């Protein structure tokens, strides 16, 4: 009886001993610590530099027609919008949208949190870039979007962003060229050797561009903090005074 108990105990120990490595192997992937991504320090307030502001204005006005490879249809639309002094979204108290809002001299700042980068813009707009691995939303769900749907990932200290679905956002703000449902934007955002935030962009849309348009904008630290946004409905950027007195 005693010998049978000893044999049973030895067998149980052997079974447990064989099972332990299997159990350890099964648990190790779930219990292994994942090293956090070392995100960069983009704190502070940033504003478009003079070179970028001049180039953005030239792109809007068509001063250098060879730089932006527009299709003949959109060349005609830009000329018509310029002749008509077309109002941009921001002059009508509407969101500037992606990518146009950062083509102006508005200040902005970055909030980097797990799974998301949030850009707070001086005029009150907010752009959210999701870095948690989610896919793009369906285009049908973005019909009212100005910022579009942005998903990104980190490549070292560079944020790579892919944006689709901003059919209501102005593409070149000054003269009303609008993005379409097929506009696709890829950005690489990083702090360059001069300490500026640099955004290298490639934007494509077969209706607007004869070929993908690549451009770079740089943003320098702002010496002042962002103010509070304000917009008066019916405001105009051409000096027109709008009578907002209610009708009698």
**Cα separations in angstroms, 16 against 6, 8, 19, 21, 23:** 15, 12, 5, 9, 10
Could you check whether the bond before residue 144 is cis, i.e. omega within 30 degrees of 0?
no
**Whole-model pTM?**
0.74
Q: What is the 3-state secondary structure (H, E, C) of 80-111?
A: HHHHCCCCCCHHHCCCCCCCHHHHCCCCEEEE
pLDDT value, residue 86:
58
Q: What is the pLDDT of residue 16?
A: 45
Of the candidate CATH numbers 3.30.420, 3.40.50, 1.20.120, 2.40.128, the domain formed by 46-221 belongs to: 2.40.128
Could you report the per-residue pLDDT of 118-132, keeping only the tens digit for each?
A: 999 988 889 999 999
Q: Is the pLDDT of residue 198 over 90?
A: yes
Q: Which residue has the higher pLDDT, 26 or 183?
A: 183
User: pLDDT per residue over 205-233, tens digit each?
Assistant: 998 889 999 989 999 999 999 888 777 65
Q: What percent of the chain has pLDDT over 70?
A: 65
Q: How does DSSP assign 153-201, residue by residue?
A: EEETTEEEEEEE--TTSEEEGGGTEEP-TT-EEEEEEEE-TTS-EEEEE
Give the start-to-end residue ranges of the domains of the chain.
46-221
User: Is residue 17 over pLDDT 90?
Assistant: no
């Amino acid at each position: 009886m005693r010998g049978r108990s000893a044999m049973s105990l030895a067998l149980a120990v052997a079974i447990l001993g064989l099972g332990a490595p299997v159990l350890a192997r099964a648990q190790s992937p779930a219990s292994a610590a994942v090293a956090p991504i070392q995100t960069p320090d983009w704190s502070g307030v940033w504003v478009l530099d003079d070179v970028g502001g001049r180039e953005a204005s030239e792109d809007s006005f068509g001063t250098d027609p060879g730089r932006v490879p527009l299709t003949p249809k959109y060349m005609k639309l830009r000329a018509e919008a310029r002749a008509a002094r077309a109002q941009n979204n921001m002059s009508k108290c509407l969101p500037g949208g992606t990518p146009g809002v950062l083509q102006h001299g508005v200040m902005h700042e970055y909030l980097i949190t797990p799974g998301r980068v949030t850009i707070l813009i001086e005029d009150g707009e907010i752009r959210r870039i999701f870095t948690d691995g989610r896919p793009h939303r369906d285009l049908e769900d973005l019909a009212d979007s100005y910022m579009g749907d942005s998903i990104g990932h980190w490549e070292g200290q560079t944020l790579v962003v892919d944006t689709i679905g901003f059919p209501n956002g102005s593409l070149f703000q000054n003269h009303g060229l609008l993005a379409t449902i097929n506009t696709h934007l890829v950005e690489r955002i990083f702090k360059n050797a001069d300490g500026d935030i640099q955004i290298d962009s490639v934007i494509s849309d077969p209706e607007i561009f004869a070929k993908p348009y690549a451009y770079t904008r740089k943003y320098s630290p702002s010496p002042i903090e962002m103010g509070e946004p304000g917009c008066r409905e019916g405001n105009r950027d051409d000096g027109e005074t709008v009578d907002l007195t209610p009708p009698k």
